[in-house]
């Protein structure tokens, strides 16, 4: 039995948040390329950053990969390749714990640094603080799910791969299952809802730098040349006097 | 052969008096903003000294520039592409603000609102980073004029010259080294940029940072061995010397060159073969880098080069300018200019004429004739220390080219004295340094007379391309995104959307003021905002205080037609 509240929480809110996520990024990219940056504070302080930042970033990258697996790949697929439930569980919990721990330690270091170093704190915007709060809540419930459900088994063998994952994939395939989230244990609900909120905030925070991950660097030539005519907003020169021998500029 | 043109600079260090006028005018023009308080696109260092940021030349510490791999290939000294990306979350070799200095202002308010008291109130220094009171301990030129000689021990170049000679050397001489971005042919900053935001302009070789593409990964700061890329800590973007490209494009010299009191800067074009750059930067012995870089430059008088230049789309007047270029003359004809730290393998394009004056001073102190060629030649040969120091700066430690240049300068000094004294010039003096009297006269003219249009041979960007330049609007001035008649300002209110080109705004405001019979800005719509820079002070037009949510209130008088009939 799905109530109106369930539909609002697990259908309407996700779509609204995702819509804000997508249009927000399009808007930000169109109108605020100059503000699209990591806003690094390494110039002010680097001793704590040296540990905190890689721990957090590599941790969260591993967490992201885990979510791609856990949310993106249906259980039937892993069953089909013969990955048993217990093996999958052990793998997910161990890697998840490790990644989660690295993320939390890294983030704690970074927040400590941000609060105690005057220069870094001075460069912290209100949006940064809001974002840290929401991100912290998301990470807290995420880690709690791994520990509480995966290790301590407090939620009666709740299998998110048959609940949360199906609901999440359904959002993108338009097969809506609000009832699955309504039945899920509270920490899973909280994790999902906080994540949706984070997605809605995302385009308006420094988190946009995630989408500038410069993987292209591995392939591009070292030195970039640019001619004026290629400049943004400029138009090709009009046809005028031409050389007898056609040459390319 | 792939001919490209490079706008470059030569500085004659003999003429630098260390007045910092270039630094100050550059700062006023480019970096007098928050976030760039510590940024000096142009700075002047006293040598010997630590430089700015401190000890930046110690590449074992900062890992800037390029290095050769065991297999003889060129690689970024800070690591290859994968290592570069892997260390993106915390750049391991980034100078901190302490390596530059903590910028500050003074609490001037105290001076005006302090109560009456026995002692004068004091404006205390306040950090521009934290906003708190601070002690000033360091700045961009703290060791100016060898102030605090205990700091000299940290000069990485001095460390290479042996310990024994240090003291003697410190008593011997000092000189000034003005530095801007080198606009290298093989820029390691651009190669380090993960986003590809740093680019070299194909027309004139000026290296720029695309502020819209920079994502603040700050790898370029590590990559540049000259530490001439700065991180704007407010915008989170990299900034660097622009070679004053808006001025260069219309044929004006850079601000630092224009305002140089000693007139020691030369600006001009060099043609070079882009296909040979990598090979030249990869020669095994660093001491060969000077010669290999000279080999990359192309003789603008060579008919083959001229033909290839035309094929590469370089306009004829640019080739003419390359022929008249003082840079080509100083680097390749007279061979008196040397690159700064060629061993970084970035192929720098701001070159220096090493200073002879310290040698002259020493000879003078001994009571000997300091303008006699024989005395000077002997001094250059025996004053091992200054020559070694200069060689570490300009030739990767090879003293021979430095000695050669100093002897040419000494010969010129001696030869010209005869002429100035009304005696016939002694042709044996130029001959001693392998020059003819004609060449010596020409070199003297370029180095000593150096009129404005001989120092600066800057062909303007080409007329057919003028409509691409920021400062010139040659096409319909309404023709830009969101321009007048296209809805005014952007969808998210005042200031959103693409910026209005400078020339358009000026044009419209001026026209409005010249043709209107009311006060300027009396119309409606966002285009009637009053530009405070050229507001004539008459009346209070509504555009002076636009409403928060929309166009200003209705004008009290009918405005002149705005924009609609503009051609």
> Is B446 a domain residue?
no
Indicate yes or no: CB of A237 within 8 angstroms of CB of B191: no
Task: Enter the tokens of residue B531.
Answer: 């530009």
pLDDT tens figures, A152-184 = 888 888 889 899 999 999 999 999 999 999 999
Q: Is pLDDT of A223 > 90?
A: yes
- Distance separating alpha carbons of residues B228 and A183, to the nearest angstrom: 59
Which pLDDT score is estimated for B494? 45
Residues with Cβ within 8 Å of residue B101, at least 6 apart in sequence: B38, B137, B138, B139, B140, B142
Q: Are B363 and B376 in contact (CB under 8 A)?
A: yes
End position of a domain, from candidates B293, B318, B343: B318
Annotated binding residue A191: yes
Closest partner CB to A31 (pick from B196, B213, B497): B497
What angle in degrees, to the nearest 10, is found between the helix axes of A13-31 and A186-201?
30
- The pLDDT of residue A2 is 81
Of B43, B358, B364, which Cα lies nearest the Cα of B227? B43
- The answer to whether B474 and B466 have CB atoms below 8 angstroms apart is yes
A191 or B151, greater pLDDT: A191
Among B25, B262, B232, B24, CA closest to B140 = B24
Say yes or no to pLDDT of A191 above 70. Answer: yes
What strands lie across the sheet with B350-353, from one edge to the other?
B265-273, B3-12, B350-353, B338-339
d(CA A23, CA B257): 47
Task: Look at residue B366 and tell me if it is in a domain.
Answer: no
Mark yes or no for CB contact A225/B199 under 8 Å.
Answer: yes
With beta carbons under 8 A apart, name residues in chain B contacting A57. Answer: 89
CA A170 to chain centre: 19
Chain A residue with Cα closest to B213:
A33
Counted across chains A and B, CB pairs separated by less than 8 A come out at 151
Instruction: Give dist(CA B238, CA B190) in Å, integer.
Output: 11
Q: Convert A84-100 to b/e letters by CB count within 10 Å (16 or more is b).
A: eeeebeeebbebbeebb
* Cβ burial, residue B48 (10 Å; 0-12/13-18/19+): buried
- For strands B43-47 and B229-232, give the pairing: unpaired
Is residue B106 within 8 Å of residue B125, measured between CB atoms?
A: yes
Question: What number of other Cβ atoms are within 10 A of residue B471's Cβ?
Answer: 12
End-to-end CA distance of chain B: 45
- φ/ψ of A107, rounded to 5, equals -65, -40
Mean pLDDT score of chain A, rounded to an integer?
89
Backbone φ and ψ for A19, nearest 5 degrees, come out as: -65, -45
Among residues B295, B318, B341, the one where a domain terminates is: B318
Residue B391 counted as domain residue: no
Sites in chain B below the pLDDT cut of 50? 164-165, 471-477, 479-497, 503, 520-521, 524, 551-567
Cβ within 8 Å, pair B237-A34? yes
Give residues 31 to 60 of A whose Cβ lies within 8 Å of B. Answer: 31, 33-34, 36-46, 49-50, 53-54, 56-58
Q: Which residue of A has its CA nearest to B500?
A: A233
Contact flag A228-B496 (C-beta cutoff 8 Å): no
* Residues 6+ positions from A126 with CB-CB distance below 8 Å: none
Q: What is the pLDDT of residue B546?
A: 62
In chain A, the residue whose alpha carbon lies closest to the alpha carbon of B215 is: A37
- Which pLDDT does position B383 carry in this prediction? 78
SS3 B294: helix
- Could you tell me which of B344, B331, B408 has the C-alpha nearest to residue B377? B408
Nearest to A34 among B211, B231, B480 (CB): B211
Q: Please report whether residue B175 resides in a domain.
A: yes
Residue among B90, B97, B465 whose CB faces A44 most closely: B97
Task: Judge whether B370 lies within some domain.
Answer: no
Q: Phi first, then psi: what are they for B178, rounded to 5°?
A: -75, 140
- Asked if residues B425 and B418 have their Cβ atoms less than 8 Å apart, the reply is yes
Give the minimum alpha-carbon distance from A70 to chain B in angstroms, rounded to a whole number: 26
Within a domain: B429: no
pLDDT at B368: 85
Task: Map out the domains of chain A with their CATH numbers.
Answer: 4-223 (1.20.950.20)
Backbone angles phi, psi at B264, to 5 degrees: -95, 0
Cα-based angle B67, B71, B74 (whole degrees, multiple of 5)? 30
In terms of CA atoms, which chain A residue is nearest residue B80? A218
Q: Within a domain: residue B156?
A: yes
pLDDT of residue B100: 95
Domain termination residue (choose one: B276, B302, B318): B318
| pLDDT at site B510 | 59
Structure tokens at B349: 């394009």
Please write the tens of the pLDDT for every residue from A102-130.
999 999 999 999 999 999 998 899 999 99
pLDDT value of position B80: 92
Indicate the number of domains in chain B.
2
Q: ∠ CA(B64), CA(B20), CA(B455), 5° rounding? A: 85
**Rounded distance between C-alpha atoms, residue B428 and residue B262, angstroms:** 31
**For residue B285, what are the contacts with CB-CB under 8 A and spacing of at least 6?**
none
Q: Is residue B349 part of a domain?
A: no
Name chain A contacts of B461, Cβ cutoff 8 Å.
Answer: 228
User: What pLDDT does B167 receive?
Assistant: 54
CA distance B464 to chain A (A): 7
Q: Which of B44, B2, B50 is nearest to B23 (CA)?
A: B44
Which residue has better confidence, A34 or B549?
A: A34
| A89 annotated to bind ligand | no
B481 neighbourhood in chain A, CB within 8 Å: 233
Q: Please name the residue that has the structure tokens 């240090």.
A: B166
The dihedral sign for the CA sequence B506, B511, B514, B519 = negative
pLDDT band with cut points at 50, 70 and 90 for residue A145: very high
Task: Tell me if A157 is assigned to a ligand binding site.
Answer: no
Angle at which helix B399-420 crosses helix B384-394, to 10 degrees, equals 110
Distance CA B359, CA B370 (A): 9
Given the structure tokens 């302080």, which residue do they identify?
A45
Cα dihedral A116, A122, A125, A126 in deg (nearest 10): 70
Which residue in the set A42, A226, A249 is minimally distant from B94, CB to CB?
A42
Q: Search chain A and give the residue with CA nearest B38.
A: A43
Continuous H helices in B481-538: 502-515
- According to DSSP, the β-strands at B74-76 and B43-47 are unpaired
Residue B379 has what pLDDT?
87
Where b means 16+ CB within 10 Å and e means fewer, B516-527 reads bebbbbbbbbbb
The residue with greater pLDDT, B137 or A245, is B137
Structural domain span for residue B558:
473-567
């Amino acid at each position: 039995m799905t109530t109106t509240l369930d539909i609002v929480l697990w259908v309407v809110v996700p779509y609204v948040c995702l819509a804000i996520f997508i249009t927000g990024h399009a808007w930000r990219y169109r109108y605020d390329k100059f503000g699209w940056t990591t806003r690094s504070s390494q110039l002010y302080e680097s001793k704590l950053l040296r540990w905190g930042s890689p721990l957090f970033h590599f941790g969260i990258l591993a967490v992201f990969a885990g979510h791609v697996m856990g949310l993106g790949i249906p259980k039937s697929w892993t069953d089909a390749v013969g990955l048993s439930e217990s093996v999958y569980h052990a793998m997910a919990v161990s890697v998840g714990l490790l990644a989660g721990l690295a993320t939390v330690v890294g983030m704690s270091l970074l927040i400590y640094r941000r609060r105690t170093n005057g220069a870094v704190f001075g460069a912290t915007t209100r949006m940064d603080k809001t974002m840290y709060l929401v991100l912290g809540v998301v990470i807290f419930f995420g880690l709690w799910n791994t520990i509480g459900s995966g290790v301590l088994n407090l939620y009666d063998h709740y299998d998110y791969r048959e609940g949360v994952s199906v609901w999440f994939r359904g959002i993108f395939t338009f097969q809506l299952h609000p009832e699955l989230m309504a039945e899920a244990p509270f920490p899973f609900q909280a994790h999902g809802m906080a994540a949706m909120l984070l997605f809605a905030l995302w385009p308006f925070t420094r988190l946009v730098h995630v989408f500038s991950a410069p993987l292209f660097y591995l392939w591009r030539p070292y030195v970039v040349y640019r001619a004026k005519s290629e400049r943004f907003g400029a138009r090709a020169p009009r046809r005028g006097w031409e050389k007898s021998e056609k040459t390319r500029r | 052969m792939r001919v490209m043109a490079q706008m470059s600079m030569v500085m004659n260090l003999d003429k630098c008096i260390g007045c910092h006028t270039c630094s100050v005018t550059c700062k006023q023009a480019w970096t007098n903003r928050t976030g760039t308080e510590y940024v000096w696109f142009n700075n002047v260092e006293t040598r010997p000294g630590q430089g700015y940021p401190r000890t930046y030349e110690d590449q074992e510490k900062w890992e800037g520039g390029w290095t050769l791999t065991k297999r003889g290939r060129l690689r970024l000294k800070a690591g290859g592409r994968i290592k570069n990306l892997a260390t993106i979350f915390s750049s391991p070799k980034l100078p901190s603000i302490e390596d530059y200095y903590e910028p500050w202002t003074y609490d001037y308010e105290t001076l005006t609102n302090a109560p009456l008291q026995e002692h004068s109130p004091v404006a205390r220094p306040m950090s521009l980073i934290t906003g708190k009171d601070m002690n000033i301990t360091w700045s961009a030129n703290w060791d100016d004029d060898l102030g605090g000689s205990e700091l000299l021990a940290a000069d990485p170049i001095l460390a290479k010259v042996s310990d024994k000679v240090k003291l003697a050397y410190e008593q011997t001489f000092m000189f000034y080294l003005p530095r801007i971005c080198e606009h290298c042919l093989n820029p390691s900053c651009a190669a380090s940029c993960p986003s590809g935001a740093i680019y070299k302009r194909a027309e004139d070789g000026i290296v720029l940072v695309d502020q819209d593409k920079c994502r603040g990964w700050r790898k370029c700061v590590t990559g540049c061995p000259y530490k001439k890329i700065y991180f704007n800590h407010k915008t989170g973007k990299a900034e660097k010397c622009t070679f004053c490209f808006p001025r260069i494009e219309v044929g004006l010299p850079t601000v630092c060159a224009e305002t140089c009191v000693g007139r020691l800067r030369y600006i001009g074009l060099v043609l070079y073969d882009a296909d040979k750059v990598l090979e030249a930067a990869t020669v095994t012995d660093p001491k060969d880098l000077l010669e290999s870089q000279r080999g990359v430059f192309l003789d603008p008088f060579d008919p083959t080069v001229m033909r290839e230049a035309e094929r590469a789309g370089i306009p004829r007047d640019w080739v003419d300018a390359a022929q008249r270029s003082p840079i080509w003359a100083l680097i390749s004809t007279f061979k008196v200019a040397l690159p700064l730290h060629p061993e970084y393998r970035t192929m720098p394009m701001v070159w220096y004429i090493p200073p002879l004056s310290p040698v002259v001073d020493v000879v003078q102190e001994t009571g000997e004739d300091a303008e006699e060629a024989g005395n000077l030649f002997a001094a250059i040969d025996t004053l091992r220390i200054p020559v070694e120091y200069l060689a570490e700066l300009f030739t990767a430690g090879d003293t021979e080219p430095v000695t050669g240049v100093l002897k040419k300068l000494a010969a010129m000094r001696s030869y010209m004295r005869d002429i100035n004294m009304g005696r016939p010039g002694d042709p044996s003096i130029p001959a001693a340094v392998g020059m003819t009297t004609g060449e010596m006269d020409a070199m003297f003219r370029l180095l000593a007379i150096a009129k404005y249009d001989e120092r600066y041979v800057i062909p303007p960007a080409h007329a057919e391309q003028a409509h691409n330049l920021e400062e010139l609007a040659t096409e319909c001035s309404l023709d830009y995104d969101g321009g007048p008649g296209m809805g005014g300002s952007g969808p998210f209110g005042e200031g959103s959307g693409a910026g209005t080109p400078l020339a358009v705004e000026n044009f419209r405001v001026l026209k409005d003021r010249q043709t209107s019979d009311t006060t300027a800005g009396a119309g409606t719509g966002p285009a009637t905002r009053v530009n405070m820079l050229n507001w004539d002070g008459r009346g209070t037009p509504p555009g002076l205080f636009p409403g928060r949510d929309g166009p200003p209130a209705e004008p009290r008088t009918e405005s002149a037609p705005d924009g609609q009939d503009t051609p």
